[in-house]
């Protein structure tokens, strides 16, 4: 008998996940949306640029004059002026990031729910567990397939939009590409919630509800600087406990904004604490998956 090849078993687990995602039409739908986004930007959008400012923008032939408010030091008043090309590029890229980050995560989590159901289904999981790979490796194969797919989709959308905008405007902001790992990592953090709750409760629906709840709660947590001063000491302590323990999905957007604007990132804490939450959740999920009966 040839020596055990962990790569062969892992490739089986990965292939199963990729095929499942493909069969759910999820990957194709995301690729289609991403393609539509950069085809739209490439062909349907035309710009008139005068001295680094955008004086006119036409989308499908419809013209608009993008303006932004600016402080005039001479008069001390806010005036309307043409949008700078840099601001426009950052605006487009940020919009794409925001859509992919929030909408993509919400839809992605919803769409992958059947994937977890299928993986843990009686008659499927027991057959998988009878194969010569450890439970940890089996789960890792499943997760690697999901993470890799999200990474490819994020790279296709964000990278495509970035390339299109950069070629079209000549404004190159490579920091924008940080959106790719950030989207992938934060999706992985939220996926940890669904997976672990599903393993514990056999209900991916409950996992989805909790993951969505955490995402919406993160919007409240992101306002901690405004909320904590008006809370009682006890309430503030509880609020901050949640802030430190739970994923800070909404606040991570600030990190990405600071990266794109080439400003110094004031704190990586929201990203780091979210990742720690994800690691702990995956750890608990792996532990439980390795112990439970199927």
Q: Using the rule CB under 8 A, is 27 a contact of other proteins?
A: no
Shortest Cβ 127–other proteins spacing (Å): 5
Shortest Cβ 290–other proteins spacing (Å): 10
Choose one: 42-50, 55-63, 65-73, 120-128; the region binding other proteins (CB under 8 A).
120-128
Q: Using the rule CB under 8 A, is 267 a contact of other proteins?
A: no
Choose one: 11-19, 225-233, 241-249, 280-288; the region binding other proteins (CB under 8 A).
11-19
Contacts to other proteins from residues 136-195, by CB under 8 A: 137
Name the 3-class secondary structure at 132: coil
Judged by CB under 8 A, the residue of 61, 69, 76, 123 near other proteins is: 123
User: 68 CB contacts (<8 Å, ≥6 apart)?
Assistant: 80, 81, 82, 83, 84, 87
CA-CA-CA-CA torsion sign (155, 160, 165, 168): positive
Which of residues 129 and 228 has its CB atom nearest to other proteins in the complex?
Answer: 129
Which of residues 234 and 291 has its CB atom nearest to other proteins in the complex?
Answer: 291
Which of residues 15 and 44 has its CB atom nearest to other proteins in the complex?
Answer: 15
Rounded Cα distance between 95 and 213, Å, is: 23
Q: Using the rule CB under 8 A, is 121 a contact of other proteins?
A: yes
Rounded Cα distance between 152 and 108, Å, is: 13
Rg (CA), the chain: 23
Rounded Cα distance between 194 and 186, Å, is: 13
User: 200 CB contacts (<8 Å, ≥6 apart)?
Assistant: 288
Q: Which two tokens stand for residue 231?
A: 């809370």
Which of residues 12 and 181 has its CB atom nearest to other proteins in the complex?
Answer: 12
Judged by CB under 8 A, the residue of 131, 167, 201, 267 near other proteins is: 131
Rounded Cα distance between 203 and 68, Å, is: 49
Total site size for other proteins, rule CB under 8 A:
32
Instruction: Print burial letters for 29-46: b (CB count within 10 Å at least 16), e (below 16).
Output: ebeebbeebbeebeeeee
- Residues interacting with other proteins, by CB under 8 A? 1-2, 4-5, 8-9, 11-13, 15-16, 19-20, 23, 118, 121-124, 126-134, 137, 291, 293-294
């Amino acid at each position: 008998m040839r020596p055990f090849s962990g790569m062969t078993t892992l490739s089986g687990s990965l292939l199963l996940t990729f095929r499942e995602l493909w069969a759910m039409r999820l990957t194709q739908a995301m690729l289609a949306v991403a393609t539509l986004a950069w085809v739209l930007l490439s062909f349907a959008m035309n710009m008139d640029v005068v001295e680094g400012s955008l004086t006119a923008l036409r989308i499908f032939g419809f013209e608009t004059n993008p303006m932004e408010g600016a402080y005039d030091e001479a008069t001390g008043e806010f005036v309307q002026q043409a949008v700078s090309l840099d601001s426009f590029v950052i605006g487009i890229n940020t919009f794409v990031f925001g859509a992919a980050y929030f909408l993509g995560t919400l839809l992605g989590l919803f769409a992958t729910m059947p994937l977890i159901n299928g993986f843990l289904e009686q008659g499927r999981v027991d057959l998988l567990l009878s194969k010569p790979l450890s439970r940890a490796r089996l789960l890792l194969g499943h997760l690697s397939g999901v993470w890799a797919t999200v990474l490819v989709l994020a790279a296709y959308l964000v990278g495509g939009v970035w390339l299109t905008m950069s070629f079209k405007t000549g404004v190159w902001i490579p920091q924008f590409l940080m959106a790719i790992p950030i989207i992938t990592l934060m999706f992985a953090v939220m996926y940890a919630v669904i997976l672990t709750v599903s393993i514990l409760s056999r209900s991916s629906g409950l996992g989805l509800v909790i993951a969505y709840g955490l995402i919406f709660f993160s919007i409240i947590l992101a306002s901690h600087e405004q909320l904590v001063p008006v809370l009682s000491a006890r309430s503030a302590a509880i609020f901050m406990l949640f802030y430190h323990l739970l994923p800070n999905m909404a606040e991570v957007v600030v990190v990405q904004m600071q990266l794109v604007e080439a400003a110094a990132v004031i704190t990586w804490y929201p990203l780091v604490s979210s990742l720690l939450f994800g690691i702990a959740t995956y750890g608990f999920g792996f532990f439980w998956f390795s112990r439970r009966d199927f």
